[in-house]
Amino acid sequence: MRIIIAGCGKVGQALTEQLTKEENEITVIDLKSKIVSEMSNRHDVMGVVGNGASHLAQAEAGIEKADLFIAVTGSDELNLLCCLLAKKAGDCQTIARIRNPEYSAEANFIKEELGLAMVINPEYAAAMEIARVLRFPSAIKIDTFAKGRIELLKFRVQEDSVLGNLTVMDISQRLHCDILVCAVERGDEVFIPRGDFILREKDIVAIIAEPKKASDFFKKIGVVTNQVKDTIIVGGGNIAYYLSHTLLSTGIKVKIIDKSMERCERLLELLPKADVICANASDKGVLEEEGMYQTQSFVAVTNMDEENILLSMLVKKTSDAKVVTKINRVDFNEVIGGLDLDTIICPKNVTAEYIVGFVRAMKNSMGSNVETLYRIIENKAEALEFIIRKESEVTGKPLVQLKIKKNILVACIYRQRQVIVPRGYDEMRVGDSVIIVTTNTGLKNIEDILGK
């Protein structure tokens, strides 16, 4: 696909990186020539120095032949203008990033009236990811397939867990759970496990199952599955607002701590049911006074990554709370991954995943049959949902007879509202939704799982 991205900030860079890996033709537009040059060299993409809302810049970027235009500059109004011009000049699909809460409340109206394919709000999307985890605090991350009927959950094997030293095969036999272990992260290594793979304490494990069966599994291994009853949110920005609004509507008590009196007064107006505290949360005494040791969950979403990390590590060390940490910069993934953090949320990556999902859906109508994609382990493993639309080499044969490439796992088959955790005798059929987990990249069609 030919895609133009206006804006080379954090989200623009993440999008460029992900979309180029999937063999799309990318052109970026930005006012800063240095950034455009860096992006062009790093990702081997075309670059145009200019204003994304300029017809000349869009024309130079090839708007007349573009399939999709994505506006992710720092200005909501500029993004909307970019998309309007792009639709007139190129008659292509358009996506606009909108961050202002006032606009977000009218997102559907804006989308319909301006003819946008998608309106994406990074802070709202990140807040929904956090809310999903707080409803199931044992999970580090939760992704859904088949319109929510199948879940992929990541969790850490705790010390003294019944899973320690168990093989993957033993889990279903001893615990009688209909789940599938589809990926294991151990230090810097990622494994697509076979039945004889042995789990260890501190492993990060990804499983696939129906929501109810996943819940049964966690209960059997002695892990809490109920949503948290309360939370402390440090940082009063837009993520805190969206998250608080969602949590309060589900009966979760919310306490927000922010050092800006002006912001606290605004939050009190917007969220009358929340406790809003004007204080500096980097002061340990403040956290202790506000219930750090008693709270069931703690969310650090200030604008400072360092502060979020330090506060999260403190709370994780001194309490049993579910801890969520917002991190904007992922340049130091290796260092951050080595820290004893729980759930990490990166708004730019969440936004990029939403948009990449839309791009894949567009590709469906252009030949590819990938329905959904999630990067379950950053840059190391991904889960893809394929819709099988026709007979092929993979259909009508037991999985054990297929020559499936190394590091590829057929993790789940969804057929006529039935979730099948596949075994060797199961087969794929036309109409099935099939979830593949792999450390390989570049799978476009279900046939790509086969080796020679």
Which residue range is the domain that position 427 belongs to? 350-449
Last residue of a domain, one of 300, 327, 345: 345
Q: Do residue 365 and residue 278 come from a single domain?
A: no
Domain count, the chain: 3
DSSP 73: S
Q: Do residue 440 and residue 359 come from a single domain?
A: yes
- Residue-by-residue DSSP string for 316-353: HHH---EEEEE-S--TTHHHHHTS--SEEE-HHHHHHH
Please indicate, yes or no, if residue 234 is contained in any of the structural domains.
Answer: yes
Last residue of a domain, one of 103, 120, 137: 120
Q: What is the dihedral of CA 188, 194, 195, 197, to 10 degrees?
A: -30
The pLDDT value recorded for residue 383 is 84
Rounded distance between C-alpha atoms, residue 94 and residue 116, angstroms? 5
Q: Do residue 315 and residue 416 come from a single domain?
A: no
Query: What is the domain-level CATH number for residue 239?
Result: 3.40.50.720
Pairing of strands 253-258, 189-191: unpaired
191 Cβ neighbours under 8 A, 6+ residues apart: 183, 184, 185, 197
Do 154 and 213 meet the contact criterion of CB atoms below 8 Å apart? no
Q: Do residue 52 and residue 32 come from a single domain?
A: yes
Helix then strand count (H, E) for the chain reads 15, 22
Helix (H) or strand (E) holding 247: helix 238-249
Do 297 and 321 meet the contact criterion of CB atoms below 8 Å apart? yes
150 Cβ neighbours under 8 A, 6+ residues apart: 144, 208, 209, 210, 412, 414, 419, 435
Q: Do residue 307 and residue 328 come from a single domain?
A: yes
Q: Do residue 326 and residue 371 come from a single domain?
A: no
DSSP 296: S
Rounded distance between C-alpha atoms, residue 245 and residue 127, angstroms? 10
| Dihedral of alpha carbons 42, 44, 49, 51, sign | negative
Quote the strand ranges of 168-287, DSSP E: 180-186, 189-191, 204-209, 230-234, 253-258, 275-278
Please indicate, yes or no, if residue 215 is contained in any of the structural domains.
Answer: no
Q: Do residue 315 and residue 267 come from a single domain?
A: yes
Rounded distance between C-alpha atoms, residue 23 and residue 41, angstroms? 16
Please indicate, yes or no, if residue 380 is contained in any of the structural domains.
Answer: yes
Pairing of strands 230-234, 370-377: unpaired
Last residue of a domain, one of 86, 120, 154: 120
Q: Do residue 333 and residue 389 come from a single domain?
A: no
Q: Tens-digit pLDDT profile for the chain (452 aa)?
A: 899 999 998 889 889 988 888 778 999 999 999 999 999 998 889 999 999 999 999 999 999 999 999 999 989 999 999 999 999 888 888 999 998 877 877 878 888 888 888 888 889 989 988 998 888 887 788 877 776 778 888 888 888 888 888 898 888 788 888 888 988 988 888 888 888 899 998 888 989 888 888 888 888 888 766 788 999 999 999 999 999 999 999 889 999 999 999 999 999 999 999 999 999 998 999 999 999 999 999 999 999 999 999 999 999 988 889 999 999 876 666 666 667 788 889 888 888 888 887 887 676 555 556 666 677 766 678 888 888 888 889 999 999 999 998 889 898 898 888 888 888 899 999 989 898 988 887 777 888 898 86
Q: Do residue 332 and residue 362 come from a single domain?
A: no
Do 302 and 235 meet the contact criterion of CB atoms below 8 Å apart? yes
Please indicate, yes or no, if residue 130 is contained in any of the structural domains.
Answer: no
Rounded distance between C-alpha atoms, residue 3 and residue 312, angstroms? 38
Please indicate, yes or no, if residue 438 is contained in any of the structural domains.
Answer: yes
Please indicate, yes or no, if residue 295 is contained in any of the structural domains.
Answer: yes
Q: Do residue 358 and residue 341 come from a single domain?
A: no
Q: Do residue 36 and residue 97 come from a single domain?
A: yes
Q: Do residue 107 and residue 37 come from a single domain?
A: yes
Please indicate, yes or no, if residue 379 is contained in any of the structural domains.
Answer: yes
Query: What is the domain-level CATH number for residue 394?
Result: 3.30.70.1450
Tell me the pTM: 0.76
Please indicate, yes or no, if residue 131 is contained in any of the structural domains.
Answer: no
The amino acid at residue 133 is V
